[in-house]
């Protein structure tokens, strides 16, 4: 898929069908899941070493702005996580773009760091 080849690792989340190997409690209502490979060297190294996907929540609650600093993370979100990696680096401050890719045309669920027009250009090339 040209979208993931163009934007992974990076700020693109694709909505796709849930793999049979994923436990049912992680399935979305319509048996979908958001998949993403972030462009963060530490996370990429953890993924290489474990050879397994990581389960993670967004850094912000739905409808809330994306944090730029650790101190801007919602305490409720932090408390609900088993592990929070605190770095001194600024967070991106912009949410990933979420695209449902199950159909003939992409559906932009949330426009974030990647513009809808850029998604459409790459999709047409595919």
**Residue carrying the six token digits 């958001």:** 34
What's the confidence (pLDDT) of residue 51? 86
Domains of the chain, residue spans: 2-119
What's the confidence (pLDDT) of residue 66? 80
What's the confidence (pLDDT) of residue 124? 92
What's the confidence (pLDDT) of residue 26? 78
Q: Which CATH number fits domain 2-119: 3.40.50.10440, 3.40.50.300, 3.40.50.2300, 3.90.870.10?
A: 3.90.870.10
What's the confidence (pLDDT) of residue 110? 92
Mean pLDDT by 10 residues, the chain (126 residues): 93 92 81 90 90 81 81 89 78 81 95 95 90
**Quick one: three-class SS letters along 86-104?**
CCCCCCCCCCCEEEECCCC
Q: Give residue 89's Cα distance to chain centre.
A: 19
């Amino acid at each position: 898929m040209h979208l993931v080849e163009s934007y992974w690792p990076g700020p693109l989340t694709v909505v796709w069908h849930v793999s049979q190997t994923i436990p049912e409690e992680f399935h979305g209502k319509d048996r979908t899941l958001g998949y993403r490979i972030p462009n963060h060297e530490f996370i990429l190294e953890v993924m290489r070493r474990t050879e397994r996907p990581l389960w993670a929540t967004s850094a912000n609650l739905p409808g809330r702005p994306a944090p730029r600093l650790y101190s801007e993370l919602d305490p409720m979100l932090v408390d609900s996580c088993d592990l929070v990696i605190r770095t001194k680096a600024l967070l991106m401050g912009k949410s990933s773009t979420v695209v449902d890719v199950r159909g003939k045309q992409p559906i932009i669920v949330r426009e974030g760091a990647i513009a809808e027009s850029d998604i459409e250009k790459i999709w047409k090339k595919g």
